[in-house]
Amino acid sequence: MNFDKSSRTQTSLSVLTLLTGTGIAQAILISVSPILTRIYSPEDFGTFATYSAIVAILAVISTGRYELAIVSPKKETDAANVVVLCLSISVVLSILSYLLIQTFGYSLVKALGNSEIQELLYLLPISLLLTGFYQTLNYWNTRKEVYKNIASSSVAISGSSATMQIILGIGVSQPNGLVVGSVSGQGVGAFSLYMLSRTEFLNSIRNSSIHGILKNAKRYKDFPLFSSGASLINNIATQLPVFVITSAFGVTVTGIYSLTIRILSAPLTLFSSAIFQVFFKKITTISIEKPEDLQKYVLNTFLLLVLFGSPLVALMIFWGPMIFSIVFGDEWVEAGEIAGLLSIVAVVRFAISPLSAVFSLENNVKRGAFWQLLYFVSLASLFYFIYDLDFNFFLMLYVIHEVILYGVFLFLILRSSKHRKYMTN
């Protein structure tokens, strides 16, 4: 009994450590935004958003999803082999991405409709390599339960990115300073995480071998075969608005859209992560001890989260333009004008996404996977048909789509939480 209590305490401390690191990192990003918006134009933010969207999609395959397998092996030698496998895949994919940019770079720039990003494409292999290294080190530290290293590196990424973006914008007058600063932050984050764990990490990977790498690549092949596809679709769907808005309405509009989403989502994302942890633990207990109350608990949690997020919607609808003008500068009044609509999307996602933990109760993610596919197909179809519309009408239809699709998601969650025999193991 004492062991269980100690284990729960340790888990709570681990979650708190990660949330503290994430919270400080998010606070840095939000606090420097009023400075960055006075240094960089909406067009600069649009280019940064486009570049970040490409990196976010490629990040899914940067290690072949094998990083998820680092925590699985019982033997340390097997874990070491998976680590080396991840690092090797990152190097190979970075080289491959460089060759692809050399061959198809111009075609990509033309498809994106953003000529400003052409010279930045050659930073993509570096971003891909750094992302792969960071994710590998992140999961290795997770395996070792050294969460303070992960938290520290999160702060290092945000702090160094913000510092470099300000320096490049003011001191060098570099319009692409947002991208270059972000890549620099990636490098600092990966290096800091390595330095914090280098001794044990290097000792661990010395035990790897070619035979062991190939054996574990085969053993955990389901990660690249199944997990990568679903994650890739999810990330493409998440980043799709950036590409469509850039192509249809221009990079300046993309910058306005991306800043608005960034400011609205940052605090809610932090709370959402904490809620997911607490919610998952609570529903697991309810599903075992009193499963007939589970659906009611899920619904009450949803209503509580909607109530919590509603003031943000009211604030943005009535005072969005004034707030954005005062905080971020007169050039960003348009961001405040669309903040009212986009705040609805942010709050709907905030209120429903943490509830998806319900799918884990039955060891059955089919409903969640079905919704991800439905979301992607419906969003792509919507953008195809409304591509040539006025931006405000385009945005209104996008918001309606999000509300409807997340409503379907909530329906599937409630169906999954309906009283029946649950299996949590």
List pLDDT tens digits, range 196-230.
988 888 988 888 899 999 999 999 988 888 777 77
Give me the sign of the Cα torsion angle 106, 110, 115, 120: negative
Whether 99 is covered by a domain: the verdict is yes
Answer yes or no: do 125 and 226 share one domain.
yes
Q: Are 152 and 124 in contact, with CB atoms under 8 Å apart?
A: no
> What's the confidence (pLDDT) of residue 424?
42
> What's the confidence (pLDDT) of residue 357?
76
Answer yes or no: do 182 and 260 share one domain.
no
Answer yes or no: do 274 and 356 share one domain.
yes
Answer yes or no: do 291 and 258 share one domain.
yes
**12-34 pLDDT tens trace:** 676 677 778 888 888 898 899 99
> What's the confidence (pLDDT) of residue 265?
85
| Integer CA distances (angstroms), 92 to 51, 69, 104, 180, in order | 21, 19, 18, 23
Answer yes or no: do 195 and 57 share one domain.
yes
Answer yes or no: do 109 and 227 share one domain.
yes
* Domain termination residue (choose one: 170, 202, 231): 231
Whether 273 is covered by a domain: the verdict is yes
Answer yes or no: do 304 and 391 share one domain.
yes
* Domain termination residue (choose one: 178, 201, 231): 231
User: What residues make up the domain containing 71?
Assistant: 17-231
The answer for residues whose C-beta is within 8 angstroms of residue 364's C-beta and 6 or more apart is: none
Q: Round to the nearest angstrom and report the end-to-end CA distance of the chain.
A: 20
Answer yes or no: do 255 and 154 share one domain.
no
* Number of domains present in the structure of the chain: 2
Answer yes or no: do 63 and 154 share one domain.
yes
The answer for residues whose C-beta is within 8 angstroms of residue 120's C-beta and 6 or more apart is: 47, 51, 176, 179
Please identify every stretch of the chain with a pLDDT value under 70, giving residue numbers as ranges: 1-12, 14-15, 172-173, 270, 273-278, 280-281, 360-365, 419-425
Answer yes or no: do 186 and 314 share one domain.
no
> What's the confidence (pLDDT) of residue 9?
59
Answer yes or no: do 222 and 271 share one domain.
no
> What's the confidence (pLDDT) of residue 168?
92
* Domain termination residue (choose one: 197, 231, 265): 231
Whole-angstrom Cα distance, residue 377 to residue 371?
Answer: 10
Answer yes or no: do 221 and 256 share one domain.
no
Smallest CA-to-CA distance from 68 within 231, 245, 285 is with: 231
